[in-house]
Chains A and B, each alone.
Chain A
Amino acid sequence: MLIREELKAVIEAILFVRAEAVSVEEIARITGAAREDILTLLTELALEYNERKSGIEIVSGDGGFLMCTRPEYHEYVRESGAVQAARLSQGVLETLAIIAYRQPITRAEVEAIRGVRADRALQSLQKRGLIKEVGRKDAPGRPVMYGTTEEFLKLFGLTSLQDLPAVLEEDNDD
């Protein structure tokens, strides 16, 4: 049985090595500790990181908790070369923005918003693992619906879809 401080250290180690959202359930399975204790320790750990303005912070995402760098130091992290350099074209970015905010969404719906064909942009986004098929729309032809992936969140430094900045201007409709 791990003592409290050890358990906290183990949780920290797991979050570090996994580098992706780890659920409380999973940590419970690995450590054999109770979920409430894990949640308490996770919160404590996150606070400790915050208190000493550590370069790393612990955030909760869709699938659990994960580590990321503190936004204050973003310029240096970017300078460190850890960031992917490949550029996304304007068309691809627009398509991605539409999917991110309107998911799940079909190709035809994306095309209606952009006024141009979207097959190539969708293909490129899918190949880069930023979007995925999330089901089929209950409509004639049962078209494929797309949504964003975990990879999308990571690439844009978002912990969950709720993190997406608010829509700037409301449609003048209805």
Chain B
Amino acid sequence: MGYSVKLDNYEGPLDLLLKLIEQNRVDIYDIPIASITDQYLAALETMAEVDLEVLADFLLMAATLINIKTRLLLPRPQVEQSAEDEEDPRHDLVNRLVEYRNFKALARMLEQRYEGSVPRVYFREPWDLEPQKEVRATLAQLVQAFRNVWDQKEEPEIPVRLPEGDIDIHEKMQVIEESCRKRRHLTLQELFAGAASRREALVLFLALLELIRLGRVTAIQPEPFGVISIMRTRSPQDAD
């Protein structure tokens, strides 16, 4: 036969055999083993790149086919000819093919349901009750993070005392929101890095707490003791 087959088009040796049986229009219960075996082996020869595991499965089937072919060629002992239950050497293979063909049909049926090409019902997805990966930072964690910053921040020696009351909490709130808009994840460290003094850091911290209270930003700690990030809370106004 002149046609060539590509093995990677087949799910396995049984699939290839079924295709050959189909193409030859022969009865699955009365397979012309000699001709089918030749075609099967010819198909094996055309295969280009198949990994070893796949090849092994195909070769095992080739061996089975040759075995059956040989048994069919052997002269049958005349004496036992009468035995009703003399087994056809093809019997096991036919059973496997029929069973596999059934499952192929069932798989096709499942596929149709999956694709929705047959009437079927659909279910809603239940709420995802899995704990979220992101952990909302607690107030205690925020305070702890702030203390770390506080301890690191040295009070600069200011030769001239400037009048205090120059740090406005509302202004700092705007600064935080603005920074969050620019970056998706603003870490607490980054936020406090810009503070010139402990006093400014404190005001920043209070501004942050106020924003969290108002629900305008969220503090997220992806893992225990991890870096706390500040993110803007999504709101309808964000759409534009």
Contacts and interface: CB of A to CB of B under 8 A. Distances in A.
Does A pair with B?
Answer: yes
Interface of A: 17-20, 57, 59, 66-72, 74-75, 77-78, 82-83, 88, 90-91, 93-94, 96-98, 100-101, 113-117, 154-159, 165, 167-169, 171-173
A19 B127 contact: yes
B155 to A, nearest CB: 55
Contact of A159 (B54, B95, B121): B121
A94 B114 contact: no
B116 A83 contact: yes
Nearest to A159: B121
B223 interface: no
9 contacts: A20-B126, A74-B120, A88-B114, A94-B103, A96-B110, A113-B99, A114-B103, A157-B113, A172-B94
Candidate in A17, A18, A116, A156 with the most chain B CB atoms within 10 angstroms: A116
Contacts of B94: 172
Contacts of B206: none
Contacts of A168: 102, 105-106
Given A19-B127, A67-B124, 7 more contacts: A91-B11, A93-B110, A96-B107, A97-B103, A98-B103, A116-B57, A165-B109
Interface string B91-126: 000111011111111111111011010111111111
Nearest to B114: A156
B126 to A, nearest CB: 4
B11 A171 contact: no
Contacts of B125: 19
A74 B123 contact: no
A172 B95 contact: yes
A20 B118 CA distance: 22
A69 to B, nearest CB: 5
Contacts of A88: 111, 114
Contacts of A94: 11, 103-104, 107
Closest 5 CB pairs of A and B: A157-B120, A116-B12, A78-B116, A19-B124, A68-B121
A168 B121 CA distance: 22
B233 to A, nearest CB: 24
Contacts of B109: 97, 165
A13 to B, nearest CB: 14
A93 B57 contact: no
Contacts of A78: 116, 122
Contacts of A70: 121
Given A20-B126, A115-B13, A71 B119 contact: yes
B99 to A, nearest CB: 5
B202 interface: no
Contacts of B126: 18-20
Nearest to A84: B114
B61 to A, nearest CB: 7
A90 B107 contact: yes
Given A19-B126, A78-B116, A115-B14, A71 B107 contact: no
